[in-house]
Chain A
């Protein structure tokens, strides 16, 4: 009775599908048979699975407890008696599984048993603990029971791994729709009532949000309601499915599944370049209804498909883009343990792969076999081997024809150019025929190979990219490398300029032989470093091409991951020290500028060439350099040698040495290489360049590059320092344990295995995901986990019916969506029928529609739709977080370290793992974002303002009704419109009252301030006069000085200011309104250390980034400036190009400069130290970030009101510059203090001190009301305009729950 067969048979009916509610409570004596059956079905499997391995008769009996037979389980052990038949309370087994005894929580190392399982045990014990296990199992039996094979066999019986069954929907009087028939049968069986159908307004709103993520406009609602032809809902479903908005909505759902991100996180948070193209691919794919099986294939191996989807209109290979999601992993910064980092990011890939496509938590099997599911540790490393056999990289998804476009023509033109040049050179050299005859023996000696002598380390190696054999261990990708190796004499024609040839090259591999618009990534096989090495590359390149070693596929640069930029057009050896990475696995990588996997940079045109790579013991020194070809020319026969090389080159038979000789001749001017000197090739070159300019630029997308594939050893207990046996690359053994016979990674095979007919998971998982998005909760409530710890399916037959239907109908997602929303179940009203809330609080049985809060993107998008401002432009790079840019939220950039705060508040997921079901929380941060946040306010302002003046509406009531409908989807009732109208009126009254209050305050302020000023002015004037006369000798002498109270002339030298734009002299200085600035002629002498000084009043303290006074190079790209509020609001800053010399001083926020001029000075010391001063006192802390910039004589100038360069928003100051000075040295703190004092900055304290006691009291008395009025005015904020009441209505409407929730 205790054989495995019986057990598994029972188990197969036991799990989730099975309901044991129909077992009757047995009468204690008579029902033994039923109790035994209960034991077999409910108790024994748990004991075997969760207890036997530690508590058995053969090997281990932890705590002296044996649970594998009847006597054992009833025996008294160290801690009591496990099972006392009939007495649950005295049974220790129950106590420990209930976790009632500290440090004896069982089962160990796993979650608690489910409450139902515990209840089963309690019932079993209470009913006498019937136990047919007379004897302990033998060691063989036990190991058969507890071995992985037996465990796997048991676990394969789990519901989600069972074949999809063909099921007939049960009959129903209510509906013919199969979905309804399954649902009805469950409702009926449970005696649950059902809600009525939703009204049509509710329906169109629901349909629109669920399908497109956007609300219907009031006009669309009316159109829908006016259509009373049959099939209206189906027609609107089709219309919405055909809308491009559908793809934007459903792409976002899938982006949650693959944890879409635009950056890698961690220190530096570098961008994943071009990640957005994957987002666009998803949008197109959903809109085109690309079948799901095809999407799966593309996600696994879209770059490897024999017949990819080519979008001929865009000229791209769509399929290849699907692989970009593999790159959305988190990467650390310069990890010292590169293998640890690799294990981490491959684990991330496996985690997402398993959850996304299979609903399996494969990642749980990294350290040991899965605790609950049919996944072994070997499964984990089998998949690890597949993904780790690829490398993170950049791919070009241009269609093959695009990648090859014009290559043939360019190749043909090159031959013509070569012939023409050879002819021209020959004419010029004029080597006579006699000499030419003896030429074959007159050529330079062949080149020596770099010696490996002296490398006693056995692994010293050389790769010769010039020989066919040398390419065996390299993986070239990109159209620049498509032609493979080039023989000696390869050459490149320059795409612009007076010169014709870029160079003539020896045999090697090159990306630019046809065009620098071509790209290339050249990677080597892996090299295991077993000692201290250095590697040498004989390479050339330009335009930002990169060279590096890659450790354990880590894609970033930084500290111990150097990246060399190739900036040499002639051959040189580049050395990289590898000794740090002793013991690790590395490979070499050269790539064109934008083709680095991360931190790519540079222009579109770049190129490289590579001849040799030499790996040798560290310190062995450089391989031999090429001999100088011109130096070795024999004096008497030099021309002949050159001529021989020309002839060979023209015949395509040049040797490496001849190619180098010709190249040297080009560089040294021994052979003509300019259009002027080669009139006969000019026309050919012009044609060449014309064609070359039409070579399409690559469309780069992150992806995986295939390299040398290898099986992965298991890591014992997940420790990457302890490799175990190899796990051959293959799929999960629960489906198929056959290793892949492939030299590639195995991704193609994996894709096909995923989709094979006997793998039921992908269909079930995707059907459930779609159901989840349509109904708000999956038939399996845990869409990413179909394992033991996931939820059981509420309607398993329905799930299978839908899965089968989907496969049969070609995996069409739109077809399934259309089918589901056509059901009466989907169209139910959301009001729960009587008793439903009590009987089924989670609405598992679908008696009514689920009320859902809109998700984050839908809320943000709906704001713009309601305001009629949504920008429908699709695709392209994302836009910055938290802006009121009216594009759909799917296009918001997802930077891991600065996720959009608004979207995050509404539960947009953190992109680190598959999120098939978002949380839907209620937190005050959401209320605050809606009530006080800038996004909602800005959209409300735009909407309210436009509505107030909207000519479509004759009356305010019509306006209000429209706004209400735009937000809620329904017409307001009378009471509602009255409430809105009353609110509008009240707001209008509020605005009027506010205006009156302001006017009164303003008048009082003017009066009080005038009185106060009349007391202060004479004192201030007196103090200023005294100070200026006293301090006249004390102030440091400026190099230039502008007193804008008088003029813009330099009162010291000749740097007279010229006014531009709206800049003018007014309000006691240089008045700048954001559209004007002042510049000076060039500063004659060189300028290094210096001090900038200004007295400035600001128009407002919240402006950002305007420059007060600047010294800049004449081109405007290098500068030092006094800048206000650029990095941090209200802070003074020493501005500089690219912030190269800029740090926050850490000074206090400016609070005075709005009311009165403040004195600001920045001193630039010779050692690069920068000191800030405000009103004569140090401002924050000095710092040194970079060296001082010296400006050359005659090459710099001074600007006022403009940070640098030419006028642009964000650089312009708004305020009044009273006076400014430039010093050609760094003033000391004392000098700056003296200057501030001498200039007439008269402090309040000084004035008060100068007054007699009654006057002082008077001033203090007068100051109070002035300050109070100012404070009150400040409190009132910006005066509200006429639009304010409408803005407030719009804002209130956005805050309605009826806006945020979908019924």
Chain B
């Protein structure tokens, strides 16, 4: 660190805008009891995973396969509705808890006793972009802070040399439909917005690679610092000192980011666990994200979101890889193969390192898929009932929560929505979702809007 910068303690003493400062509302929202989780890893299954092909087995579909849906069908996005379609995948009971998981996720089956599967998730919208916004921000349009931003706003940063909210990409993955606004800090202070980190290319973060060699950059910064200190002294304005401090942080980030992205210290066993060197390139790429997520969490990053990589199957394009409006069997098969081992490896690795208790892993898409076919061999969007799972972070593993009808079409028991999910996540982070507010445009806005109940049924 160049000596020209004031120390962090000096800075915090002198200014009210220090980096690690916690929002007042964050303090207000803290619950007296101890938080169970400190970090969140959000495996977002963009495009929408079919519940009846993954975590919600429905024998009734096999009985009715090829017959018209016995109940009325709500509007679908493509209006190309076929008959009941049985899952092409076989379900098995896994673990001591006996959670049913389809043949798409054999590796996750091995950690079934860590999972709390929620089969009664719902969404209020039926298209990707709005569904993604709803899932990320609690509101189905751009402008609101993402859950990761809220978590950082509420809890502050543990490592000021790394961003507190990181979105990982690799293998050509892109932001889901809706764009990078999904990862925005909205109206929260800008430093809560996500930094997009590439897990497989340089530079991993925008503008992180210095244009100058080390010595030249120091010389450069010394010159700038000389003028800036004078200017700050002349104006006596605290925001200038904060701005100078930012150069210090930025300087250290230039080293911290490459360090965390360097996998060379990871053992062969660890790499194998994640599928890091898998021959299938998208699986290897996703494994990089999972391993990097662990490295980030180890260094105190609060919230990490992972991005799936498209296999170009059945309408699943780069922003919505799971979107199998056709070729569901091939598409879901390939997508599940991509994420199954890396995520299972991540959960096992976190557990082995004692990090699973304090790290909440979320696996969810923006909606599910219809139990009837779209066209010959696809499924359309279904917001009326779908499955997600949580693991670690104080969640009671081996749990199945909620129920859909016999067809897996609509929730019939313990219906919950994204507000309940985030209420639960914030709760595990030690935050009261009703108190984590930010006054914007005359309203005290929450991640959970005016809704949300903590899903106590899945908590340890």
Contacts and interface: CB of A to CB of B under 8 A. Distances in A.
Interface of A: 99, 105, 109, 111, 265-269, 330, 332-337, 340, 344, 348, 355, 361, 364, 372, 559-560, 580, 782, 784-785, 787-790, 830-832, 837, 851, 853, 896-899, 901, 905, 907, 910, 912-914, 919-929, 931-933, 937, 976, 979-980, 983, 986-987, 990, 1128, 1131, 1143-1144, 1146-1149, 1180-1181, 1183, 1185, 1276, 1288, 1291-1292, 1295-1298, 1300-1301, 1303
A979 B77 CA distance: 65
A486 B208 CA distance: 66
B127 A336 contact: yes
Contact of A364 (B77, B127, B213, B442): B442
B441 A784 contact: yes
A1066 B400 CA distance: 69
Nearest to B186: A910
B142 to A, nearest CB: 5
A99 B30 CA distance: 13
A924 B191 contact: yes
B211 interface: yes
B216 A990 contact: yes
Given A559-B77, A580-B79, A896 B224 contact: no
A928 B206 contact: yes
B227 A1298 contact: yes
B207 A266 contact: no
Contacts of B282: 1146, 1181
Interface in B14-45: 17, 28
B79 A1297 contact: no
B249 A111 contact: no
Given A1295-B224, A1297-B240, A335 B201 contact: no
Nearest to B201: A1149
Given A355-B441, A913-B441, A924-B253, 7 more contacts: A265-B142, A333-B127, A913-B143, A923-B190, A932-B209, A933-B206, A1143-B312
Contact of A987 (B219, B309, B319): B219
A56 to B, nearest CB: 24
A924 B243 CA distance: 9
Nearest to B184: A910
Nearest to B437: A111
A975 to B, nearest CB: 9
A925 B220 contact: no
A190 to B, nearest CB: 20
Nearest to B224: A1295
B311 to A, nearest CB: 7
B206 A901 contact: yes
A1288 B220 contact: yes
Given A334-B77, A1181-B282, A853 B243 contact: yes
Nearest to B450: A109
B244 interface: yes
B459 interface: no
A937 B220 CA distance: 13
A1301 B240 contact: yes
B74 interface: yes
A561 B85 CA distance: 26
B220 A924 contact: no
Interface in B306-326: 309, 311-312, 318-319
B263 to A, nearest CB: 15
B127 A928 contact: no
A931 B210 contact: yes
Interface in B423-460: 434-435, 437, 439, 441-444, 450
A1303 B240 CA distance: 11
Contact of B127 (A334, A1276, A1303): A334
B229 to A, nearest CB: 9
Contacts of B311: 1181
Contacts of B285: 1146
A1104 to B, nearest CB: 15
A851 B239 contact: yes
A1131 to B, nearest CB: 8
Interface stretch (B230-238, B352-360, B390-398): B230-238
Interface string B231-261: 1101111011011111101110110000000
Given A931-B210, A931-B250, A896 B181 contact: yes
B172 A1128 contact: yes
A1101 to B, nearest CB: 12
Contact of B130 (A266, A559, A851, A1301): A266
Contacts of B130: 266, 332-333, 335
Contact of A1297 (B207, B223, B231): B231
B348 interface: no
A632 to B, nearest CB: 41
B140 interface: yes
A361 B235 contact: no
A932 B231 contact: no
A923 B247 contact: no
Contacts of A919: 187, 189-190
A922 B242 contact: yes
A1296 B177 contact: no
Contacts, number: 248
Interface residues of B, number: 88
A1181 B249 contact: no
A267 B246 contact: no
A842 to B, nearest CB: 11
B333 interface: no
Interface string B110-149: 0000000000000001111110000000001111000000
Contact of B224 (A337, A364, A932, A1296): A1296
A983 B218 CA distance: 12
Nearest to A1183: B312
Contacts of B341: none
Contact of A361 (B239, B247, B443): B443
Given A910-B142, A932-B211, A1144-B172, A983 B219 contact: yes
A980 B243 CA distance: 22
B300 interface: no
Nearest to B244: A1297
B180 interface: yes
Nearest to A583: B75
Given A983-B223, A1181-B282, A928 B208 contact: yes
Nearest to B133: A266
Contacts of B107: none
B231 A853 contact: no
A523 B325 CA distance: 33
Contacts of A1185: 312
A196 to B, nearest CB: 14
A983 B245 CA distance: 22
21 contacts: A266-B129, A332-B127, A332-B140, A336-B74, A336-B126, A559-B79, A784-B441, A897-B175, A897-B180, A898-B179, A899-B180, A899-B181, A912-B143, A913-B441, A928-B250, A932-B211, A979-B226, A1128-B172, A1144-B172, A1146-B309, A1297-B227
A190 B282 CA distance: 67
A1180 B283 CA distance: 12
B281 interface: yes
Interface in B82-115: none
B75 A337 contact: yes
Contact of B211 (A265, A355, A831, A937): A937
B75 A336 contact: yes
A925 B178 contact: no
B441 A1147 contact: no
| Most chain A beta carbons < 10 A, residue from B187, B243, B318, B444 | B243
Given A330-B142, A559-B77, A1297-B232, A925 B240 contact: no
A590 to B, nearest CB: 23
Contacts of B172: 1128, 1131, 1144, 1146
B130 to A, nearest CB: 5
4 tightest CB-CB pairs across the interface, nearest first?
A: A897-B179, A912-B143, A927-B250, A266-B129
Contacts of A910: 142-143, 181, 184, 186
B411 to A, nearest CB: 18
